Amino acid sequence: MFSRTLESADWNNSQLLREVIPADIERLKQEPGRDIIIYGSASLVQKLTNLGLIDEYQLLVHPVILGSGKPLFQDIKDKVKLKLVNTTTNPSGVVVMSYQPSTQHDSEL
């Protein structure tokens, strides 16, 4: 897990990292186990996106308009084209969209 404030990571199979180092992320991605998941950290998403280290984005749209909030994709250096790979709609109306970064050229999209 990434944290600027925690002193230790006591959860099972967890590691505490304080900064984004691409080699550390690549190492974690190669280890057996489940996916690396980010909840509620726009700054971490931005850093990993800028480094090209995200394999899939799962975006949830909730049926509510808040009128304010922090942008998830603020300060992204380069345009990232996404390919929709799955959508589901929950009974509550939440739409889950799964995207993978596209490797296609502009003319192929």
Domains along the chain with CATH numbers: 22-108 (3.40.430.10)
Return all residues near 90 (Cβ < 8 A) that are at least 6 apart. 96
- Backbone angles phi and psi of 23, in degrees to 5: -60, -35
Beta strand spans in the chain (E): 57-61, 82-89, 95-101
- pLDDT tier at 107 (50, 70, 90 boundaries)? very low
- pLDDT tier at 86 (50, 70, 90 boundaries)? very high
Asked whether 12 and 1 are in contact (CB, 8 A), the reply is no
pLDDT tens-digit profile of 65-74? 998 888 888 8
pLDDT tens-digit profile of 17-46? 778 888 888 888 888 876 777 877 888 899
The average confidence (pLDDT) of the chain is: 85
* pLDDT score recorded for residue 8: 79
Average pLDDT for 53-59: 93
